[in-house]
Amino acid sequence: MPLYWLVLIILVIAALGYVLGRSRALRQAGGNQRLLHSLPSFYGWNVALTVMTPAFGLLVLWLLVQPIWIERSVSATLPESAVAEGSSRDLVMSDVRRIAGGLGTLGVEVDQITDTDGLADLRSALGAVGVAIGSDIQLGVLHAAESYRQKTSDLQTYMWIAVILAGLGGFAVAYLVTDKDFRARNSVERGILIVLIAAASIAILTTLGIVLSMLFETRNFFAAHPWQDFFLGTDWAPDFRGGSELAILPLLWGTLYISLIALLVAVPIGLFAAIYLSEYAGGKLRAVAKPAIEILAGIPTIVYGLFALITIGPLLRDYFALPMGLGESSSSVATAGLVMGIMLIPFVSSLSDDIINAVPQTLRDGSYGLGATQSETIRQVVIPAALPGIVGAILLAASRAIGETMIVVLGAGAAAAQFDRGLGHLVNPFEAMTTVTVKIVSQLTGDTDFASPETLVAFALGLTLFVITLALNILALWIVRRYREQYE
Amino acid sequence: MTEITASRQSLLLPDARTRSRNAAEKRFRVYGMIAIGLAVLALCVLLVSIVSNGAGAFQQTFITLDVAFPEDKLDKNGNRDPAEMAKVTTFGYAPLIKSAINARIQAEGIEIEGLKKPERMISKEAAAQLRNFVLSNPEVIGETRRFEVLASGRVDGYFKGRVTAESAKRDKNISPEHLVLADALKNAGALETRFNWKFVTWPDASENRPEASGLGVAILGSFYMMLVVLVLALPIGVAASIYLEEFAPKNRFTDLIEVNISNLAAVPSIVFGILGLAIFINFAGLPQSAPIVGGLVLTLMTLPRIIIPSRAALAAVPPSIREAALGVGASRMQTVFHHVLPLAAPGILTGLIIGLGQALGETAPLLLIGMVAFVREYPDAPPEGLFDPATALPVQIFNFTQRADPAFVERASGAIIVLLIFLLITNSVAIYLRRRFERRW
């Protein structure tokens, strides 16, 4: 039976608990609500929550632990001979899982299959129900599969019993403690508070999940590939047949170069736009220009990516790169940088706008009083006062640029920078150059083998990216806090 | 008496220093205006480029043909057994189309020198279309029916200006004679280019039939993911912001949560894709390409972006409301759920809708969890459908850009128009809600 039914049964018990708990409390108070410690519905909720919490908690725990436990115990019974030459225990186990699934649908008697003919028949029968097995099934594998199936269905039954018992147990306890002096409201509110805390803790769990998943796979990567080569090597040439050069420096160069161009576009435009909008612009211009710039922030990055691919790339190639003889590729550092710069304009401008507006008017008035013009006031009073915030905004924009993926996937090209081709190649903005994020995508999409360093390198790249952006974010926050002027 | 020197200027005339200061002022203003101009220009160029490239995707060229369904080809035994009829593959239907278009050319009296293989003008999808039709309506065998079939991507491109006689010469899929024939058929009324809803409803099609590809599966997949995000992110986000804003004591644990939330909001989205791949697919064993995994990843990514505005909305409710509720004997929990939360609801809702909009356009994390797969089957209805393979709208756009045929550039831009329309709707709803319900205290 599907799992929904179990969930539904628990919900029904909980609903019943609500009704019964509420009526029991009322009955104990002789129908007089005023004699109760809490409102009647709290007594109902108390029972319902005490049913659901242990039952659903147990269910989730069971579903997490069961596959791991079955995997372990079946894998231990798998004879050494069942693991063929050139194969691994993991691969055989995945066959075991699939055969077990097929056996469940077929419903054949495994004990009667003893010879190779029976195994061949079984293989074709499995193929007919959509479980295609690559090689001939071995007897050891078949028995492992049968025990896998058996254990799964047994445990499934135990799980149903255990979960329903947990729900009923919760019901009994909560129902029996219900009387007119029971502090039901406090009990329910404590429960809700725990739920709220759990929800807030998901942020910590997410960070933990990110760091752990990447650390774990990065460790596997460094076991297969020396870390010195990764951090200090100068070549990026993955080769799935082995002997790859996997160094981060060429990718990091591409990332930083593209981000630099993006900032060179976004910072002046964003900053001047923010200054003009907050200091000069009249109501009408502000009402039109500010939302227009903010629309840029709401456009998904894939749209910018396509814009780079079909408009900006060919434009830069035909009017700049080809006439100047600097390159013939439409995907280039300049393409990706320019488009990313456009994407970052609203980011810089809206953050700077807020910061400039936070500079108190008295500073400006003081400056005007001394005879400064408006632009002198802005350059010599407002900007210095807002500088920490602006630097913070620029750092946040930089962290955005470094982590941006779709624009560079579509606009920057797939070839890594080659250090041995000299400085001219490295600084040529019309050269196609790839980035850390592009390589994460290309190494992790398609058929991936989580044992090869060519796939695992993506996790090391991801961790590096995470660390860099985290450092930039923390630095930005620190600068803002450390150097912010406190105005009354 | 001091002598007024002749060199002294009138006070009404600015001196050199003032003039240069005023010029600097003017220059500064011009820089600002240029900056705004550039930003607005970029927006306009972006939108014009996408719309001009993508508008064509909503138009499609169709050819009307009278197709005969001979019994000896489609049902040799004549017993209308569906299993037997299904054995005739789409290759068996290609000759029907060939003879149908030849008949049409003769009927219209069109003669073009050097015309070979006129059936190349018709999409390869047409054979599959006929086969599906015959299998579901076996009674048409032996009859002739009028059919509207898709023209091939090249013929369609000819009417949209993408293909010319020049380019057709170099193209092995079409010849200039085909284009002459296309014009002749158009004059005869057998061929027309018109609005095509199916671009939005059809599933994706393979590399060499761009004319038949659509966004149906992608839109459905995106919708399922948004459903997952809504169901998970709304309660979790609201609960987390209530705790942090209303109940959390000032301690290390609270600080840790706050730092984590603000950092997660700035973590690159691709990192969430790595998380999804490692945790949900490799560790928990959820299927690849499934909307449930995409939804979970997007939920984790969207949560901080929902929590931040929700907290702002809760903080904006004045303390007097809380004090009044507490004063008449409500518990803190009752105060929050009965009074503060309803008053903060419009702000929370606005933040939620904007967060959903961002999640809808997100591509990078979905690439890593296998949403790039080629999926032609529509997923089932939820909840089972959440585990079926599907794609998502932004990933479908990315998929289109990776294909060689230039017709897919038009499809990609068209898909972006659809995506932008969705975003426009969600953001307008958010703005409307804010205008309509937001209260200033």
Chain B closest-CA separation from residue A406 CA (Å): 6
Res A132: pLDDT: 67
The tokens for B414 are 């068209």
Closest-CA distance, A275 to chain B, in angstroms, reads 7
Instruction: Give chain B positions within 8 Å (CB) of A348.
Output: none
Identify the top-confidence range among A76-85, A309-318, B120-129.
A309-318
Same domain for A262 and A117: no
Chain B residues close to A457, C-beta within 8 Å: none
- What average pLDDT does this structure show over A100-125? 72
CA separation for the pair A225, A248 (Å, rounded): 13
Q: In three state form, how does the secondary structure of chain B look?
A: CCCCCCCCCCCCCCCHHHHHHHHHHHHHHHHHHHHHHHHHHHHHHHHHHHHHHHHHHHEEEEEEEEEECCHHHHCCCCCCCHHHHCCCCHHHHHHHHHHHHHHHHHHHCCCCCCCCCHHHHECCHHHHHHHHHHHHCHHHCCCEEEEEEEECHHHHHHHCCCCCHHHHHCCCCCCHHHHHHHHHHHHCCCEEEEECCHHHHCCCCCCCCHHHCCCHHHHHHHHHHHHHHHHHHHHHHHHHHHHHHHHCCCCHHHHHHHHHHHHHCCCCHHHHHHHHHHHHHHHCCCCCCCHHHHHHHHHHHHHHHHHHHHHHHHHCCCHHHHHHHHHCCCCHHHHHHHHHHHHHHHHHHHHHHHHHHHHHHCCHHHHHCCCCCCCCCCCCCCCHHHHCCCCCHHHHHHHHHCCCCCHHHHHHHHHHHHHHHHHHHHHHHHHHHHHHHCCCC
CA angle B101, B106, B109 (to 5 degrees): 130
Position A84 confidence tier, pLDDT thresholds 50, 70, 90 = low
Q: Of B243, B270, B427, which is closest to A196 when you measure between CB atoms? A: B243
- Residue B4: pLDDT above 70? no
Interface predicted TM-score of the whole assembly (ipTM), two decimals: 0.88
Residue A246, SS3 per DSSP = strand
Task: Give yes or no: residues A42 and A158 share one domain.
Answer: yes
In a domain? residue B367: yes
Provide the pLDDT for residue B241: 94
Confirm whether B91 is domain-assigned: yes
Confidence of residue A111 (pLDDT cuts 50, 70, 90): low
Is residue B419 pLDDT above 80, yes or no? yes
A253: contact with B, CB 8 A cutoff? no
* CB < 8 Å & 24+ apart, contacts of A146-151: A146/A100, A146/A103, A146/A110, A147/A74, A147/A77, A148/A70, A148/A74, A148/A96, A148/A97, A148/A100, A149/A100, A149/A101, A149/A103, A149/A104, A151/A70, A151/A73, A151/A74
In a domain, B49, yes or no: no
Say if residue A173 is in the same domain as residue A245.
no
Mean pLDDT on A341-370: 92
Handedness of CA B91, B97, B102, B105 (dihedral sign): negative
Does A276 fall in a domain? Answer: yes
Q: How far apart are CA A33 and CA A153, in angstroms?
A: 49
Q: Does one domain contain both A466 and A340?
A: yes
Note whether B97 contacts A: Cβ–Cβ < 8 A: no
The verdict on A269 and A123 lying in the same domain is no
The pLDDT value given to residue B416: 93
| Sign for the pseudo-dihedral over CA of A384, A388, A390, A391 | positive
Does A173 reside within a domain? yes
* Selection from A94, A88, A89, A91 nearest residue A76 by Cα: A89
Does residue A218 lie in a domain region? no
Of B196, B225, B256, the residue at which a domain comes to its end is B196
The verdict on B188 and B229 lying in the same domain is no
Q: What's the mean pLDDT in A427-441? A: 88
Q: Which domain holds residue A166?
A: 3-182
Of residues A42 and B117, more confidence is placed in A42
Task: Give residue B271's domain range.
Answer: 216-437
Scan residues 319-338 of A and list those with Cβ closer than 8 Å to B.
Answer: none
Count: domains in chain B:
2
Cis amide linkage into residue B309, ω under 30° from 0: no
Q: Tokens 């962290």 belong to which residue?
A: A399
* Identity at B74, one-letter amino acid code: L
Judge whether A199 lies within some domain.
no
Same domain for A390 and A243: yes
Minimal C-alpha gap between B430 and chain A (Å): 13
pLDDT band at B124 (very low <50, low <70, confident <90, very high): confident
Residues A153 and A252 in one domain: no
User: Residue range A211-220: average pLDDT?
Assistant: 89
B394: pLDDT confidence band, cut at 50, 70 and 90? very high
Q: Are residues A156 and A267 in the same domain?
A: no
Q: Is the pLDDT of residue B90 over 70?
A: yes
In chain A, the number of structural domains is: 2
Both B184 and B228 in one domain: the answer is: no
Q: Would residue A214 count as lying in a domain?
A: no
Domain check: are B393 and B254 in the same one? yes
Residue A170: name the closest of A47, A59, A62 by CA: A47
User: Which residues of chain B have a CB within 8 Å of the CB of A270?
Assistant: 35, 39
Check residues B162 and A263 and name the one with the higher pLDDT. A263
Distance from C-alpha of B89 to C-alpha of B92, rounded to nearest angstrom:
5
**pLDDT > 70: what percent of chain B?**
98
At residue A263, the pLDDT reads 95
pLDDT at A256 over 90: yes
Give the sign of the dihedral formed by CA B248, CA B254, CA B260, CA B265: positive
Give the end of a domain, one of B196, B230, B260: B196
In this prediction, residue A85 has a pLDDT band, given cuts at 50, 70 and 90, of low
Residues 119-178 on B with a CB inside 8 Å of A are none
* B384 domain residue, yes or no: yes
Bigger pLDDT: A375 vs B152: A375
Query: Is the pLDDT reported for residue A87 higher than 70?
Result: no
**pLDDT digits over B235-270, tens only?**
999 999 999 999 989 889 888 888 888 888 889 999
A292, A300, A469 member nearest B361 (Cβ): A300
Domain boundary among the residues A145, A162, A182 is at A182
Domain boundary among B148, B168, B196: B196
Residue B369, domain CATH:
1.10.3720.10
Cα–Cα nearest to B405, from B207, B151, B212, B203: B207
Nearest to B264 among A203, A289, A459 (CB): A203
Does A196 sit within 8 Å of B239, measured CB to CB? yes
Could you tell me if residue A225 is inside a domain?
A: no
Residue B282 lies in a domain: yes
Q: Residue A410's closest CA among B130, B409, B209?
A: B409
Is there a single domain that holds both residue A304 and residue A173?
A: no
- For chain A, give the percent of residues with pLDDT over 90: 33
pLDDT at A118 over 80: no
In this prediction, residues A155-184 reach a mean pLDDT of 89
- Mark whether B292 and B418 lie in a shared domain: yes
The owner of tokens 């380019």 is B167
- What confidence tier does B317 reach under pLDDT thresholds 50, 70, 90? very high
Q: In CATH, what number is assigned to the domain containing residue A399?
A: 1.10.3720.10
Residue A222, domain member (yes or no): no
- Are B258 and B244 in contact by the 8 Å Cβ rule? The answer is yes
Residues B300 and B418 in one domain: yes
Q: Are residues B98 and B143 in the same domain?
A: yes
User: Residue B5's pLDDT is what?
Assistant: 54
pLDDT for res A324: 83
B326/B408 same-domain check:
yes
Residue B18 belongs to a domain = no
A38 Cβ under 8 Å from any chain B Cβ: no
B19 located within any domain: no
Task: Report the C-alpha gap between A122 and A102 in whole angstroms.
Answer: 10
Spatial neighbors of A150 by CB under 8 A, at least 6 apart, are: none
Tens digit of each residue's pLDDT (9 = 90 or more) over B154-167 = 888 888 878 887 88
| Residue of B173, B154, B166, B170 lying closest to B63 (CA atoms) | B154
Least confident stretch, A45-49, A160-164, A425-429, B379-383: B379-383
Hey, what are A167's tokens? Answer: 């729900």
In terms of domains, do B105 and B187 share one?
A: yes
- Give the percent of chain A with pLDDT over 70: 92
Measured between CB atoms, which of B236, B237, B266 is closest to A473? Answer: B266
Q: Is residue A150 part of a domain?
A: yes
The confidence score (pLDDT) of residue B37 equals: 93
pLDDT at A90: 66
Inter-chain contact B240–A199, Cβ cutoff 8 Å? yes
CA–CA distance, B290 with B280 (Å, rounded to integer): 11
B222 in the same domain as B190: no
Nearest to A310 among B277, B409, B419 (CB): B409
More confident residue, A77 or B202: B202
Q: B173 and B221: one domain?
A: no
Average pLDDT (B128-133) is 82
Task: State the pLDDT confidence band at B232, using cuts at 50, 70 and 90.
Answer: very high
What per-residue confidence (pLDDT) applies to A488?
56
Residue A129: pLDDT above 80? no
Does residue B394 belong to any structural domain of this protein?
yes
Write down the mean pLDDT value for chain A: 85
Quick one: B232 and B107 in the same domain?
no
Residues B234 and B185 in one domain: no
Q: What is the pLDDT of residues B345-365, one digit of tens each?
A: 988 988 898 899 999 999 999
Q: State the pLDDT at residue A377.
A: 94
Q: What pLDDT score was predicted for residue A140?
A: 76
pLDDT of residue A98: 76
- Output the pLDDT for position A436: 92
- Tell whether A262 and A327 lie within a shared domain: yes
Task: Provide the pLDDT for residue B226.
Answer: 93
Interface contact B266-A209, CB threshold 8 A: no
Mean pLDDT, to the nearest integer, of A357-361? 89
